[in-house]
Amino acid sequence: MYDRDLSEEQRLMRQSCRDFVDEVVLPFIRENWQREWSMVPEDRLPPSILEEADKIGIRTLGVPEEFGGVELEPGTEIATFAMIAEEIARGDSGLADKLVQTWKVSVLLRQLAPRHLQEKWFPQLVQNPQFLMAHCLTEPRGASDRWLPYNVPEAAMQTKAVKVDGGWVINGRKQFISNGYDASLYVVYANTNTKVGMMQGTSSFLVPRDTKGFAVTRCNETLGCRFMNNGEMAFEDMFVPDDQLLVKDTALGSAGVYFRPGKIIQAAKNLGVGVRAFEATADYVQNYVQGGKILIKHQAVALRLADMATKIEAVRALLDRASKAVDDNAPEAEVLCNMAKMFSSEEIMKVAQHAVELHGGNGIMLDFGIEKVLRDAVIFLHMDATVDISKFKIVKNLFPDTAGKYAGPE
């Protein structure tokens, strides 16, 4: 967000996020780079980091004030989410994932969960800094079908919920879930009508981690954003009582309340990775000497630096416009949030590549740390829909009568 558009409250929040990143997150990452590679997920990020995040109020964003959360100005909530997500991802994108997934599910619960579920879960979230949430849509078979959507019974969700007396029995598997390994509470999407497409036959359920029949089956070893502890889970004859049903049959349509903010938040985290790449590179090229002068004085280096700075500004400008459209619920919100998400993932990838190249051999040394921006940037090409699927969504939105479905026969 451009400085001139910030309210006093946003300015203060941004400053406390910057201080948190500069004084807590970046020093931790620099001193403990090996911990990202620990094969024991519990050993990666110490609990103190989430405790510090909690102290500055960025863990419970989206939770209504009456439950002790941090409620943001409604007309600029999404823009503020974006601003904070960028700042935290500048420190570590995986840590940002831990927080933003929790905000997203908080927004969903605030808007769609019945009062008794809010009264039960929001206080638990507020009281425990290690309490995280996850949203479980993706399955071992093609998530792109959900994003397009490919709305035919054959492409329906494989995870099924069957109605029984007093509740539902759920069987199935989910994969690639951010916070999947660590979360305490999950929103699970399951098919509840096999005869219709997923937009008409998918329901959502609130599932606590200790539910009988629920198992976290693994922590995925990702290339980047490793502190998110991405996970997989299995549901075996898992009974979920009626009062934990969030939305019956039309859950994918209702999820728009957090899907659009979700795309904005992805683009913002991605921008944060780009800003980190730029800051570190700007510092390096003004200090490192080759050919008798600091790198920035070599014209080829200057050209790359200009390219990085321009891409970052272009991503920021589109992100600002898209966040405002989502906040205003404007008609162009859908197309703009997909554009921001897609554009940032392609452009920041190039920013990260420049960063690694301008560092020479140091660019690929794990202990030097700049390679991390490339690893973190590549993740965004896949999260919340791939680049190609995002492009299809943009064209479908711009040309609804002629663009086609991009899946199945026309």
Ligand X SMILES: Cc1cc2nc3c(=O)[nH]c(=O)nc-3n(C[C@H](O)[C@H](O)[C@H](O)COP(=O)(O)OP(=O)(O)OC[C@H]3O[C@@H](n4cnc5c(N)ncnc54)[C@H](O)[C@@H]3O)c2cc1C
Q: Which residues bind ligand X (CB under 6 A)?
A: 134-138, 142-144, 147, 176-178, 222, 230, 379, 382-386, 388-389, 406-407
Closest distance of CB 41 from ligand X, Å: 14
Q: Helix, strand or coil for residue 237?
A: strand
Closest distance of CB 114 from ligand X, Å: 23
- Return the beta strands (E) in 288-405 as ranges: 289-290, 293-294
Closest by Cα among 148, 161, 173, 17 to 91: 17
Closest by Cα among 154, 144, 124, 232 to 188: 232
Closest distance of CB 277 from ligand X, Å: 19
Closest distance of CB 7 from ligand X, Å: 30
Closest distance of CB 142 from ligand X, Å: 4
Q: Which is nearer to ligand X, 100 or 113 (CB)?
A: 100
- Return the beta strands (E) in 152-251 as ranges: 160-164, 167-177, 185-191, 202-208, 214-219, 231-241, 245-247
Per-residue burial over 111-122, b if 16 or more Cβ lie within 10 Å, else e, is ebbeeebbebbb
Q: Which is nearer to ligand X, 13 or 41 (CB)?
A: 41
Q: Which is nearer to ligand X, 14 or 146 (CB)?
A: 146
Q: Which is nearer to ligand X, 24 or 378 (CB)?
A: 378
Quote the CA–CA distance of 319 and 78 in Å, as a whole number.
Answer: 11
Q: Which is nearer to ligand X, 270 or 281 (CB)?
A: 270
Q: Give the pairing of strands 214-219 and 231-241.
A: antiparallel
Closest distance of CB 145 from ligand X, Å: 7
Chain-centre distance for alpha carbon 291: 42
Quote the CA–CA distance of 74 and 64 in Å, as a whole number.
Answer: 11
Quote the CA–CA distance of 207 and 161 in Å, as a whole number.
Answer: 13
Q: Give the pairing of strands 133-136 and 167-177.
A: unpaired
Q: Which is nearer to ligand X, 269 or 324 (CB)?
A: 269
Closest distance of CB 87 from ligand X, Å: 20
Quote the CA–CA distance of 23 and 32 in Å, as a whole number.
Answer: 14
> At a CB cut-off of 8 Å and minimum separation 6, what does 271 contact?
86, 89, 312, 315, 316, 319, 344, 348
Q: Which is nearer to ligand X, 209 or 382 (CB)?
A: 382
Closest distance of CB 381 from ligand X, Å: 9
Q: Which is nearer to ligand X, 52 or 376 (CB)?
A: 376
